[in-house]
Each structure stands twice: as C-alpha cells, then as structure tokens.
Amino acid sequence: MTQEEWLSLSEASALLGVHPSTLRRWSDQGEIESTRTSGGHRRFTRGAVEQYLRGQQLPERAEPAPKGQITPSTTTDMSQAWRDSFPAEHREAVRHLGQRLLGLMLQYLTRQNEDERFLQESRAIGRRYGAEIAKAGLAMLQVVEAFLYFRSQFTDMALALPAFPRPGDEAESRRLHGRVDRFMNEVLLGTIEGWELGTGGRVLTLG
C-alpha cells in the first residue's frame, strides 16, 4: 500500500452513505478502486471515495440508503443556503470544504481510537473556512450563525449512522457525543482563527 490513507469497507460505505453490500458490488464491477489485504479484506483509498463526495452522482442501481443515512445530495441540500451567501467565486471552495469536513468527521467517529490527527485536520479545515468567510466579507455574527447551523446538521447526520449506538447503550452514546463535541469545537476554533487572520482582526458588522 502507498502512503495514501486506506479505508475499510465499513468506513468507506459510511462515508459514501450506502450499504456495504452496494459498495462491495461497485468494487466487484470496477466502479470504484479497491484492493485486498493479505487476509482478503477490501480496502479503498480516501481519494477514490471522495470522488463521490465531490458531487459525482451515485449509480442508479444502488440499493436505497436507509432512512436518515447520509448521501452526497444530503450534504448539497444542507449547504445550499449557506453557499448562496457567498460570492460566486467562493462557493466551490466552500462546497468542497463542507464535504471534506463531513467525511473527516464520519471517519473520526467510526474509529475506535482517539486519533488526534483528525482533530488537527478539522481545525485546519476550520481555518480555511474562516479564510473564505473573511474573503467574502462576512461578519463574525454570520460566522457563528453558520457554525451553529452546521453543527446541528452534522450532529444529526452522525446520530443517523448505523454505527452510532442505539438508545440503551448510554455510556457509548455519551462517549460518541463527546467526540462530536470535540471535533466541532476544533472546527469552530479554527474558523475563528482563519477569520481573524483574513480580516486582520478588523471588526466586520452586518449591513
């Protein structure tokens, strides 16, 4: 394997919002790049998976995703109003950052260990968000409003994951809620940092 990050079947299917059997069939048909470990387990590159998250339509013959499960169109619909507040030249960058952030959060939540690299990367993406917001001339109030909106949406998506514990497993549920909070806190801190750097510390106001 190369230095590129590889995902398991469950991680890749969660990131794409499809059932593992769907992704397994796509792999067998050569529709998405994959390889096998010496033990016969499938592995997918993050880059191959993210081609779908960058707006590519999923094949029509895929089984419908379970109710509440994540699909690329969910991300697109969710962020449309937010992107429309940006000048046209900034919208593509904002769309890509949102998809990247969602994919990163899903990988962080489905891993068993507390890998600090995911938190560091979420903060870095937040900085890029902040820089784009500053370039668009949006005020800090709009930054916070947008963050609260996306935090709510991303949390709802995480709760809909098949891997998320169902009611009754209270200890595990608290642990994962805590991970969502840590992840999104890093995004907020990074966004503020990026906005401050982009505005030079100037206070922008609405109107």
In a domain, residue 78? The reply is yes
Q: Write out the residue range of the structural domain in which residue 24 sits.
A: 6-53
**How high is the mean pLDDT of the chain?**
73
pLDDT at 191 over 60: yes
The tens digit of pLDDT for each residue in 117-130 reads 889 999 999 999 88
Q: Which residues contact 41 (CB under 8 A, 6 or more apart)?
A: 8, 9
In this structure, the answer to whether residues 77 and 39 fall within a common structural domain is: no
Q: Which residues contact 113 (CB under 8 A, 6 or more apart)?
A: none
In this structure, the answer to whether residues 145 and 101 fall within a common structural domain is: yes
**pLDDT recorded at residue 201:** 60
Which of 95 and 3 is assigned the larger pLDDT?
95
- The mean per-residue pLDDT over the stretch 78-103 comes to 68
Portion of the chain with pLDDT greater than 70, in percent? 67
- Kindly list the distances between the CA atom of residue 15 and the CA atoms of 10, 83, 113, 133, 149, in Å, as whole numbers in the listed order: 9, 22, 18, 26, 21
Q: Distance between CA 132 and CA 86 in Å, rounded?
A: 9
Token reading at 73: 């169109």
The tens digit of pLDDT for each residue in 157-179 reads 666 665 555 556 677 778 878 88
Q: Distance between CA 97 and CA 126 in Å, rounded?
A: 9
Count of domains forming the chain: 2
- The mean per-residue pLDDT over the stretch 29-46 comes to 85
Q: Which one, of 186, 75, 178, 179, lies nearest residue 129 by Cα?
A: 186
Give the domain CATH number at 34. Answer: 1.10.1660.10
Give the domain CATH number at 161. Answer: 1.10.490
Token reading at 32: 């998405």
Q: pLDDT category, 54, cuts 50, 70, 90?
A: low
pLDDT at 17 over 90: no
In a domain, residue 159? The reply is yes
In a domain, residue 207? The reply is no
- The mean per-residue pLDDT over the stretch 71-95 comes to 58
In a domain, residue 104? The reply is yes
Q: How far apart are the first and last CA of the chain?
A: 53
Which of 71 and 98 is assigned the larger pLDDT?
98
